[in-house]
Amino acid sequence: MFELLSQKFEEKIQLTEEEKELSRKFFTPKKLRRRQYLLQEGDVCKYVTFVEKGLLRYYTVDERGQEHITQFAFEGWWISDLLSFLTGEPSTYNIDALEHCELLLLSKAAEDEMLERIPKLERYFRILLQNNLIATQKRLASSLNQTAEERYSELIQSCPETLPQRIPQHMLASFLGITPETLSRIRRQLTLKAQGTRDKVQE
């Protein structure tokens, strides 16, 4: 259950065998079936969650009942409403499972104790937050300045290759802030462009 988490730790820091063993004690394993919630709007987010297996989405629902997806989380990613987690205020977000998930939950108390007993993990989380901040800043800039086509191309490049098979089209459209029709048009255009390039190479 802890294979991927250990691997992710090792990419950024070196833990002793004892520290590895100890770190696992702070996490609570949890399985979610498809469509089950990890967090519901109005509840306090009590955990930061590591995804060992599966896929989740993070989203708000506006007054008209429309879903706005802010993030997807694949194997090896972390997901949480950090604001609610840190302040104890009710969340305005939902997190639910798009596939069967195997998760590792870390509560605030467990995180505090873990960081006190294994200070090296401060570095791991610092680097993680740094990378997440860069990705979020890029997304903010692109939401203000880029076309939908540019945003879609960036998404495809930054995520696992299986993304288009694993995420329904209307959810990808919601993440990009466009309609499913616009997304279909963009995908058709990109396919035509790619074929054009291939034909050119084969000439």
Residues 121-160, one symbol each (x = binds a copy of itself by CB under 8 A, - = not), give -xx-xx--xx-xxx-xxxxxx-xxx---------------
Transcribe 145-201 into DSSP letters. Answer: H--HHHHHHHHHHHS-TTHHHHS-HHHHHHHHTS-HHHHHHHHHHHHHHHHHHHHHH
**CB-nearer residue toward a copy of itself: 35 or 64:** 64
CA 27-33-36 angle, to 5 degrees, is: 90
Residues 48-87, one symbol each (x = binds a copy of itself by CB under 8 A, - = not), give ------------x-x-----x-x-----------xx--x-
Residue 40 has phi, psi (to 5 degrees) of -115, 140
d(CA 100, CA 33): 5
Q: Closest separation between CB of residue 147 and a copy of itself, Å? A: 12
2 binds a copy of itself (CB under 8 A): no
Positions in the binding site for a copy of itself (CB under 8 A)? 60, 62, 68, 70, 82-83, 86, 115, 119, 122-123, 125-126, 129-130, 132-134, 136-141, 143-145, 177
